[in-house]
Amino acid sequence: MTTCISPTTTNNVDVTRSNAFKNARVAQLFHPLEPLTSEEIKLVSSTISNALRTDLRFCQLTLFEPHKEVVALWELASKKPFVPRQAFAIVLDSHLERTYEVIVRLNDVEPKVISLVHVPGVQPSILTTEYRRCEDLIRNDPQILDALRRRGIDDPNRVNVELWSGFFSDPKQRIANPLLYFKTDEDINPYSRPIEGLEIKVDLNKMKVVEVKELFSVPIPPADYIAKYKNFDKVREGLKPLDIVQPQGPSFTVQGRQVFWENWSFRVGFTETEGLVLHQISYDDQGTVRPIIFRASCVEMVVPYGDPRSPNHLKNAFDAGEDGLGRNANSLELGCDCLGTIYYFDAILSDANGDPYTIKNAICMHEEDHGILWKHKDWRTGAAEMRRSRKLVVSFFTTISNYDYGFYWYFFQDGNIKFEAKLTGILSTSAIKDGDSPGGYGTMIAPNLYAPIHQHFFTVRMDMQLDGNENSVQEINVQSPEPHQPNPHRSAFYATCNTFKREQDAIRHTDSLTNRYWKIINPNKRNRMGLPVAYKLVSTQTPTPFAHDDSKIIKRAGYLKNALYVTAFDPKERFPAGNYPFQKEVDDGLTLWTKQNRSIENSDIVVWHTFGLTHITRAEDWPIMPTEYCGFMLKPANFFDCNPAMDVPKPRKVEHNSCCTTPMSKM
């Protein structure tokens, strides 16, 4: 049985905010990291529109988050100090083709613009309204209609349009390269029938088709009976219900946006670009609340394609910076996206007009069983002790054109934290002539249809706060003794440890040959054995890009070549590919910032980790791809004095558990 917890139940206390933020004194009753309300979004957008007095597109409108030290002082004070309540917006004047960054202060009697900066030569992310308007534009453009007729398409309403950023275009223009697909009926996956050979450029500011090239002609692939959204006609039988039952409710509590579970606590946020943001991740260690991470989120997702043929050479997506992970988030469905006793958080965002809208059930939170936590049996006496593990799951799903991505944070009873990206949805496809082959650049998945090879890179940004703001990062490698070192049995090996002192030292990649991992430490705090408290970052899949250094994609995102960066904290450094990756021509993110080579030893630091996978497509990925997984772990490494899960109670005998004794062949 799957149930949804109402925010008004006694297990969860939701803070009602309404219009209280309009009053400066009342605002201090609410946490400084509370997301903007609908009322605040309206106030901010109207204030900016009145200041600029022009037709604007709101590309981002979110809380301007206060610094961690300001938040800490506010929390510690019995009489809450004044904290400015501010909003940050990116707006586009499409007529003058100018982008502005605006900060609005909300604590005043009337909201006030306190900063308005024109940012030249950049393009904000693509908006939902631009997707829709562009599809209408394509379906009515005479030159495109003629090209469609030459391909046997007389009904433009059967043409689906997918926007990709103008990868090889001048960043001073807001250019998109639409890809077209022919949809035969509502049940058929449109990606099964790409319309190839057309290279189209659309100016999104002017909302005008500025170029159409007919490069070649490839027949549209035939309708594929497999390419359906629904199940096959014959559905497998024998699958019994699997119910997750928590008759006494879950073990977590919620106060506004703050979550408490077992010894964990954190705050839940959400932005257009990142989607789910977690603040103030802490662990209660026997009565002492110990901070671990102040802010954590997935800040970019880059998907470069390896097929050099048109249009695939144009496919190099920056899905966070160009589209927005949060803006494209799903409203999750009870019993489908999450099983068990579920708590949902809504997300309140701004549309292109600056009007607020709500994504219901954008974030899902629930508990899951996680197998054995620890166990030991004394073989002499037969006495055994074991504990079952449980984890708290906080997640959201987003759909970026053809692909669907889930982002999951897991919290465990033994102090582990895990981040996982789940990849599903539909492959990006290309048509191919009879007798032709994609070679190593793709895989045939249907008649006259192939899926090109590509990569997925995810970057998570973690503003560390491990037992305080003074942290360092160490690299650990395992090696055998050198020839001159003692090794009489030729079997010795040991771990080496190096502390990064400056940013250039910490530009690193994984190495499975040395079992390499990294530790975030607080050199000022020690456990009972005198070891510096630490969490280690355990990577799983860390591909490297295959594009050359002089390629467009590496010039835009050279940071993809490394799995680890460590930077000195700077609130302006939020996104590894820079704030405006749309069409940009230079790498103005992580690789630029780290050239400052600032000190990162025993200081306020940010850890950036890039991971992902190289997707060599296969027939089994069609028509909808089974979920692929990638991610990393953060594991306590001398952070505690011993196993912190020793106090987990013994598992109870549960009435609805049963023993299956019927032979499988008879079931």
Identified catalytic residue from 181, 403, 517, 565: 403
The residue among 238 and 605 whose pLDDT is bigger is 605
- In whole angstroms, what is the distance from residue 596 CA to residue 325 CA? 30
Whether residue 624 has pLDDT greater than 60: yes
Q: Quick one: which of 327, 348, 332 has its CA closest to 395?
A: 332
Judged on CB neighbours under 10 Å (0-12, 13-18, 19+), 462 is: buried
Residue 623 preceded by cis peptide, ω within 30: yes
Residue 61 half-sphere exposure toward CB, CA atoms < 13 A: 34
Query: What are the CA-CA distances from residue 308 to residues 31, 439, 454, 661 (Å)?
Result: 51, 12, 11, 57
pLDDT at 11: 41
Q: How far apart are CA 321 and CA 328, in angstroms?
A: 12
Lowest mean pLDDT among 76-80, 401-405, 472-476: 76-80
Does position 27 have pLDDT exceeding 70, yes or no?
no
Of 473, 629, 623, 446, give the one whose Cα is nearest residue 563: 473
Q: Which of 319, 404, 587, 621 is catalytic?
A: 319
Return the CATH architecture of domain 128-214.
Roll (3.10)
- Position 29 scores a pLDDT of 62
Q: Give percent of the chain with pLDDT exceeding 90.
A: 79
User: pLDDT higher for 17 or 391?
Assistant: 391
Q: Where in the chain is the domain with CATH 2.70.98.20?
A: 296-321+393-636
Backbone phi, then psi, for 38, in 5-degree steps?
-60, -40
pLDDT at 24: 36
pLDDT digits (tens, 9 = 90+) for 189-204: 889 999 999 999 999 9
pLDDT for position 656: 61
C-alpha 192/C-alpha 160 separation (Å) is: 12
Pull the structure tokens for residue 191: 């990606």
The pLDDT score that the predictor gives to residue 232 is 63
- 47-66 pLDDT, tens digit per residue, is 999 999 888 999 999 999 99
Q: Report the percent of the chain where pLDDT is more than 70.
A: 93
pLDDT tens by residue, 114-137: 999 999 999 999 999 999 999 999
pLDDT bin (cut points 50, 70, 90) of residue 654 is low
Beta bridge partners of 461: 297, 608
Write out pLDDT tens, residues 210-224. 999 999 989 999 988
- Over residues 420-447, the pLDDT tens digits come to 999 999 999 999 999 999 999 999 999 9
> What burial class does residue 243 get, using C-beta atoms within 10 Å of its C-beta: 0-12 exposed, 13-18 middle, 19+ buried?
exposed
- On whether the 3-119 domain is CATH 1.10.357.10, my answer is no
Name residue, tokens 């070891």: 531
> Is 404 a residue of the active site?
no
Give 231's pLDDT tier (boundaries 50, 70, 90).
Answer: low
Of 416, 415, 369, 411, the residue nearest 390 (C-alpha): 369
What pTM did the predictor assign?
0.94
Is-contact 193 220, C-beta < 8 A?
Answer: yes
Strand partners, 58: 91
pLDDT band at 2 (very low <50, low <70, confident <90, very high): low
In this prediction, residues 70-76 reach a mean pLDDT of: 92
Tell which residue, 470, 482, 475, 589, has the closest CA to residue 524.
470
CATH topology of domain 296-321+393-636: Beta-galactosidase; Chain A, domain 5 (2.70.98)
pLDDT of residue 187: 65
Distances (CA, A) of 593 to 124, 157, 186, 340, 499: 21, 47, 48, 44, 20
Where in the chain do CATH 3.10.450.40 domains reside? 3-119, 128-214
Are 167 and 235 a contacting pair, CB within 8 Å?
A: no
Q: For position 82, what pLDDT does the model report? A: 86
Instruction: Enter the DSSP assignment of 621.
Output: G
Reported as a single tens digit per residue, the pLDDT across 535-558 is 999 998 999 999 999 999 999 999
- C-alpha span between 500 and 498 (Å, rounded): 6
How much is the pLDDT for 226? 83
For residues 299-309, average pLDDT: 97
Cα(615)–Cα(72) distance, integer angstroms: 43
Confidence (pLDDT) at 659: 57
pLDDT band of residue 302 (cuts 50, 70, 90) is very high
pLDDT above 90: residue 148: yes
Res 665: pLDDT: 47
DSSP string across 492-533: --EEEEEE--BGGGG-B---GGGT-EEEEEEEEEE-TTSPEE
Residue 28 pLDDT exceeds 70: no
Q: Are 15 and 255 in contact (CB under 8 A)?
A: yes
Give which of 549, 613, 542, 545 is closest to 587, Cα–Cα.
549
Is 403 an active-site residue? yes
Average predicted confidence (pLDDT) for the chain: 91
